[in-house]
Amino acid sequence: MKQLTIDTGVEEFSVNGHGVLRFNPADPNLYHRFFDAGKTLSALDKELEEKVAALPDGPESAEAGLALLAEYDGRIKALLTGIFGAENDFDRVLGGVNLAGVGTNGKRVVQNLLEALTPILQQGAQRHLEAAADAAVAEADAAGTPRLMDWQQDAPLIAAGISRAAGQDVRALPYLHWWSFLGWFDAIGEGTFATVVAIRDKLRRGKKLEPWELDFYRTHRAAVDLRPAPDPAADAEKQQLLARLGA
């Protein structure tokens, strides 16, 4: 039987020396499941606190409290398994530590876990978007379709335009759903990004720029002129050279 090896992007993370967590940080489905679960986890935490506060005083209170922690530990781990896949046994990964318990920093263990995973998933999502943007650029160049924007080059202008459309700085949000991003992107009206794209379109079609547009172009030419699309072969050669130099 022939072996078929597929790069699924799965990476392994050793957790406190107890177990290994396996997932693809750039998986958009995992990203959405992870951040969508935030409300559920917050609700579980509130429910646990209310039940603990309602426990009667007495020697049986401690035992009942431990039983509650064990119950919620199971519910939290079941939720996390649903997010990261059945191959990730969080009881084994964490060495049997109760996620509903409190760490030395005063936070629940599940909160510490989520805070450790959040930047990994955010970086993975960024890699996914950059890869998708590069693929779209390469496809447009191959088809001979003129580009009017570049996701990476125009990122600061796009972020400013989306923040204006959203009425808040979206870069400060801990989580932004892709469909919300697209909705605000489509709602970008007047602004620097719109001006840059309009000037690029006029230049592409050979149309005369208005005096103010010409002045803007002279002042912000580095932002208006699109940089060449990245060359994968050249980038790979550059990385090999850096590796040889020990950089």
Residue 12 confidence (pLDDT): 93
Range of the domain at 205: 146-239
Question: Nearest Cα to 35, choosing from 112, 111, 118?
Answer: 118
| Mean pLDDT for all residues in the chain | 83
Tell me 207's DSSP state. Answer: P
Note whether residue 126 is domain-resident: no
What pLDDT does residue 229 have?
65
Same domain, 151 and 211: yes
Instruction: Judge residue 31's burial from the number of C-beta atoms within 10 Å of its C-beta, 0-12 exposed, 13-18 middle, 19 or more buried.
Output: buried
Q: Do 21 and 103 fall within a single domain? A: yes
Whether pLDDT at 144 is above 80: no
127 located within any domain: no
The Cα 218–Cα 72 span in angstroms is 62
Asked if 193 and 151 count as a contact pair (C-beta separation under 8 A), the reply is: no
Residue 64 and residue 163 share a domain: no
Same domain, yes or no, for 231 and 195?
Answer: yes
Q: Do the domain assignments include residue 5?
A: no
Whether 92 and 186 map to the same domain: the answer is no
| pLDDT tens digits for range 127-139 | 777 777 667 666 6
Looking at the whole model, is its pTM more than 0.85? no
Q: What is the mean pLDDT of residues 143-172?
A: 84
Q: What is the pLDDT of residue 60?
A: 72
Mean local confidence (pLDDT), 91-101: 89
From 104, 120, 136, the end of a domain falls on 120
Whether 90 and 153 map to the same domain: the answer is no
Answer with the residue of higher pLDDT: 118 or 143: 118
Q: Is the pLDDT of residue 122 over 90?
A: no
What's the pLDDT at 172? 84
Same structural domain for residues 207 and 168?
Answer: yes
The proportion of the chain whose per-residue pLDDT surpasses 90, expressed as a percent, equals 16
Q: ∠ CA 183-186-191 to the nearest 5 degrees?
A: 125
Residue 66 pLDDT grade (very low, low, confident, very high; cuts 50, 70, 90): confident
User: What is the per-residue pLDDT for 84?
Assistant: 92
pLDDT score at 245: 56
Do 26 and 116 lie in one domain? The reply is yes
**Are 18 and 106 part of one and the same domain?**
yes
Contact 116, 91 (CB under 8 A): no
Residue 14 pLDDT class (50, 70, 90 cuts)? very high
Q: If DSSP codes are grouped into helix, strand and coil, which group holds residue 173?
A: coil
User: 15 lies in a domain?
Assistant: yes
Q: Identify whether residues 84 and 28 lie together within a single domain.
A: yes
163-195 pLDDT per residue, tens: 988 888 888 887 777 778 878 888 888 889 999
Q: Which of 120, 136, 167 is the last residue of a domain?
A: 120
Calculate mean pLDDT across residues 102-108. Answer: 90
Is 198 among the domain residues?
A: yes
Statement to judge: residues 81 and 162 lie in one domain: no
Confidence at residue 130, expressed as pLDDT on a 0 to 100 scale: 73
pLDDT at 239 over 70: no
**10 in Cβ contact with 124 (< 8 Å):** no
Has residue 94 been placed in a domain?
yes
Of the candidates 167, 165, 140, 164, the one whose C-alpha atom is nearest the C-alpha of residue 151 is 140
User: What local confidence, expressed as pLDDT, does residue 140 receive?
Assistant: 62
- Identify the pLDDT of residue 34: 87
**Number of domains, the chain:** 2
Do 234 and 150 share a domain, yes or no?
yes
Residue 78 lies in a domain: yes
Query: How much is the average pLDDT of 202-206?
Result: 87
